[in-house]
Every structure is written in C-alpha cells, then in structure tokens.
Structure 1
Amino acid sequence: MQPRRGFGLFIGLWASLMLSVRLASAQLTHAASRQRWKPATATWYGSPEGDGSDGGACGYGSLVDVKPLKARVGAVSPVLFKNGEGCGACYKVRCLDRRICSRRAVTIIVTDECPGGYCSGGRVHFDLSGAAFGRMAVTGERSQLRDRGEIPVAYRRTPCKYPGKNIAFHVNEGSTNYWLSLLIEFEDGDGDIGSMQIGQAGSSEWMEMKHVWGASWCINNGAMLQGPFSVRLTTLSSSRTLTARNVIPHNWSPRATYTSRLNFS
C-alpha cells in the first residue's frame, strides 16, 4: 500500500505544479496582450473641454465629475463594454494622424457605453470626453482635432492606478436587509470584475453575487442578510482575487460608501 500512497502524492504534486504553470502562463499572456497596440476609432462627446458623460452606464454617478475619474471618462462600444463587465477597465488611446496629433496617449477609464452610431457593428470604438480627446493633439491644435469628428486611433489595456485610493463599496439606493446591491469603485490593476462573493457575520460561507448592470452587483438569497459583510472580488481579465474583511459594517445604510484597507497592487 505504501507505493500507492507515494504515487498518489506524486500525482497530486504534479497536478498542483501544472495548475501553477497554467496560471502563470495565463498571467504572462494577459500581460503581453496589454502591451500590444490595436486599431480602433474614436470620437468625443460632451462639452469641448468637459468630462464627457454625466454619470454614465456604469453607474459611477457624480464620481465622473471629480478626480481621479475627471476628464478620463470613456464610453466604449459593446465589444469592450461587455454588458457592464468591462466597467472600470483602463485603456491608453493614441491618435494616429501625425499631422495634428502628438505621440502622447491618453489614459481613459470605462465609465459609459456607446451602443449605436459609430459604435455599432461589432467595431472597437472609443467615445471620449472632450478634454481627453483634445489632449491627443499637438500644442495649439485641440480645437482642430475635435473638428475632425471620427479619427483612427490605436489602443491597449493598461493597469488602472488610483494613488492614495483603496477599493470602495458603494451601497446602491434601494438596498435592504434582503436585497443588497454594491457598486465597486477605485479598483487598481485590471479594473474589471468577473465575479463577486459576499460573506455574512458569523458564517464561513461565501455567497455568489449576481451582476446587475454596469459596475453593480447584488445578492438576494431569500433570507435576512446579517452584517458586517466581507466581500471577495475576482477580476475578469486575469482572475486575481482580493478579500476585504468586514468592510461593510452591521449598521450599513443605502447610498453610503465604505472604503477597504486594500487594493490590487
């Protein structure tokens, strides 16, 4: 019997090693894909030097009007919006017309969706704030660049960076002790969310939350929810996980925002 136990241990170690190799390979592939510039098109909306959307389809509300989101607003076509799962992702966008554009790329955060018009047909398109669009121009040519309308651009994913900020959880209006909805803010790194779980006080069970819309997730398990709540996030792009313990207190209230002590590095 001893050889069989040894063989079983060998198989277990081998499976663990292969899983680690696959995860490492996936992370390297994801990192490499961030570095590749891809073709797309871009327009702008809002006022010429403005922040773009007033709120937006991701549900960030007034956050789009203040730093660090201010003037970095980006509405994207459905292929990048991903029914809201693309919310929070960050991209670098660079104009390709060297006659009027600098080599400087602007960094934008997905806060809104551009579902029709320029954004239809499965194409990759960015509808940027007037301020972000103008920053791609050479000095003194912002107005002329905006007058071009649709322009060819190159884009690539880039890590989100919110210096001095930790991940925050905004309790959406309408939440109750039986239905809890959370909006994720200031997520460094991938910026997007692939899955989300919540843990109640006094329980070791993690309950799956459902993606509602934009950057909002909810849970309704048919029984009263007991805080404080811990929240576990898994990113969509690279499956990285972060757990914020007891981040939402037992006396939580709708429309309040609770900041964790953590963020993705």
Structure 2
Amino acid sequence: MKILHKIQQLRFAIWMLFMVSAALSCDRCLHKSKVASDARANINGACGYGTSATSLTTRGGLVTASASAKIYREGVGCGACYQIRCTDPGVCSKSGVKVLVTDFTKNTQTDFVLSARSFSRLAVPSKAAQFLKMGTVDVDYKRIPCEYGGQNMTVKVDKSSKYPDYLAVQFLYQGGQTDITAVEVDQVGSSGWQYMTRNQGAIWGMQNPPRGYLSFRLLVTGGYDGSWVWPRRNLLPSIWTPGSVYESGIQITEIAQEGCSPCETGNWTDTYVN
C-alpha cells in the first residue's frame, strides 16, 4: 500500500509540472478531426455506464459518443463532454452536437463515432438526409464543461460488486471539465484511506473493501491544480447492494486548462448557415 501511495504521489508531481508549464493556456482548445457515423453505436460501451448513460445524456442535453484512444485515454476520458461542429458551411448547423464520451472506438481515422441519428444532427434539418449518406465528415471540436441542471454527482454501486468481498463504483453526473484520476475509500470515523483501481472506463473497484459506513474522496485534475474532493457525509451504508445509487451532496465545477494553439476563448466564428 505504501508503494502504491508513493507511485500516486510521483504521478501527481509529474502532472503538476505539466500544468505549471501550461500556465498561459486556455480552457477552450479548438481541435480539427473527423467524425464517423455507425448504426451499431450504442450506449453500452467501454466506459461501463450501461443504461445509466441514458439518464446522463437526457439531463445534460447530450448524445453518447465513442471516442478515439487519445480522448478515451484508457478510461480517464469517460464522462467528458465535447461540442462538435462539422465544417461545411453549406450543410452544417451552427450549434452541432454536444456529446458525452461513453465508449472507445478502434477507428483510427476519426476522433468520434456517433449513431446515425446523432450524426445527422450535425447538419441543418433540411440537409440531414443527404448528410447522413456521407458517413464521415470533417469537424472542429472542443471540450466543454458537463452540466446537469443542478443535479449533484452521485455514486452508483456497480453490478459487478459482491458484498462484502468486492466493491466497484461509478461516479455519475460529474460536472465541470475535469478528470477523476484517483479514488480512495475509507470507513467513516477512520483515517485509513485505501486506493481503488480503475477497472474499466468509469468503474473503480477493490477487493476486501472496508466494512461499515463508507466515504470516498476523488483526486480531480483540472485548472492549474489538482485537488482532493470528498463529500462530508456517509455515501454508502454498512450493507450496500449492486445497482444502488447515492447522492454525494457535492458537484465538481472546476474547469480544466489546456495548452494549445489556437486558443478559443469565446464563441466560434459564426460562418455556418442556420
């Protein structure tokens, strides 16, 4: 356990050095790529959200998306929100679509894969049918804060959990524009925080979890600093069951900074048709 703690400290120190080097960066890096349409795209993806993705996208006004390796980042990118716009002014809408990363794509020609219905929303309604036939289009995209209409972050006991020997959790409705890079759990009233491991996408798990009422704390990387965030309440009861959901009472609102050029700090230039 001490070795794992030292490794985590080293990783955090390296990350801090990177963030200091990006001190003149912005939070709206504009990227150019391609987006593909795939009728088989679905919400039951590599992030492990399963049917929870429906409630996430509904409350956040989002659509689900499969993301490339550089965005998925072995699961770190799960739950991140992006705004995507295609670049043909004769076909594309100004707003494009806002997506939630729920899956990983092995397609090396694109950064995102959308369902046919979501893909067609990149175009103005009158051109949606012909747009859908294109299959792959050039786009601009940027990461945006996730917003869930006042909904606090919640903790869901994953279906893979087996009381009392194995505990796996997901953190749903994570707001802001940050990444959860570490999770620790502790019995309420104790000071023996224990690390959980990222098992699959957004799922964190551990063997032989602490007994009794449990609390969690999260290492969130965003802005120019990283910080531990945890609710001042018991999150899991002494006897927990797979599928149970508990509200944390808090919401993450930090905005991550990126080192990039060009730096998009305002609205995109309105060169698209309505």
- Shared fold (TM-score greater than 0.5)? yes
Indicate the structure (1 or 2) with the bigger Cα radius of gyration: 1
Is the contact between residue 64 and residue 99 of structure 2 (CA under 8 Å) also seen in structure 1?
A: yes
Shift of 1:141: 1.1
- SS of match in other structure, 1:193: strand
What corresponds to 1:231 in structure 2?
216
Sequence identity (%): 28
In 1, the alpha carbon distance for the partners of 2:131 and 2:227 equals 39
What corresponds to 2:37 in structure 1?
44
In 1, the alpha carbon distance for the partners of 2:113 and 2:42 equals 10
Identify which of 212, 234, 242 aligns with 2:229.
242
The C-alpha deviation readout for 1:42-92, integer Å capped at 9, x for no partner, is: 012237xxxx41421111111233413675101001111111111001111
Shift of 1:251: 2.4
Identify which of 255, 260, 265 aligns with 2:243.
255
Q: Which amino acid aligns with 2:134?
A: R
CA RMSD of aligned residues (A): 2.4
- SS of match in other structure, 1:65: helix
Q: Does 1:65 align with 2:88?
A: no
TM-score (norm 1): 0.79
Shift in alpha-carbon separation, 1:63–1:203, aligned structure 2, 3 A: same
Shift in alpha-carbon separation, 1:73–1:217, aligned structure 2, 3 A: same
What corresponds to 1:206 in structure 2?
193
The C-alpha deviation readout for 1:169-199, integer Å capped at 9, x for no partner, is: 1111242222211111110012532111111
In 2, the alpha carbon distance for the partners of 1:150 and 1:76 equals 14
Equivalent residue runs for 1:121-132 within 5 Å: 125-132=111-118
Higher helix content, 1 or 2: 1
Is the contact between residue 87 and residue 191 of structure 1 (CA under 8 Å) also seen in structure 2?
A: no
Q: Does 1:151 align with 2:137?
A: yes
Is the contact between residue 190 and residue 235 of structure 1 (CA under 8 Å) also seen in structure 2?
A: no
Is the contact between residue 60 and residue 148 of structure 2 (CA under 8 Å) also seen in structure 1?
A: no
Equivalent residue runs for 1:184-223 within 5 Å: 184-190=171-177, 192-220=179-207, 222=208
Which segments of 5 or more consecutive residues in structure 2 lack a partner in the other structure? 1-15, 254-274
Q: How many residues align?
A: 232
In 1, the alpha carbon distance for the partners of 2:60 and 2:49 equals 10
The C-alpha deviation readout for 1:209-248, integer Å capped at 9, x for no partner, is: 111011000122x5x6213111111224453432023111
Equivalent residue runs for 1:145-184 within 5 Å: 145-175=131-161, 176-184=163-171
In 2, the alpha carbon distance for the partners of 1:24 and 1:80 equals 18
Shift in alpha-carbon separation, 1:137–1:23, aligned structure 2, 3 A: same
Q: Does 1:96 align with 2:87?
A: yes
Is the contact between residue 55 and residue 63 of structure 1 (CA under 8 Å) also seen in structure 2?
A: no
Which segments of 5 or more consecutive residues in structure 1 lack a partner in the other structure? 1-20
Is the contact between residue 62 and residue 97 of structure 2 (CA under 8 Å) also seen in structure 1?
A: no
In 2, the alpha carbon distance for the partners of 1:143 and 1:191 equals 36
Shift in alpha-carbon separation, 1:23–1:71, aligned structure 2, 3 A: closer
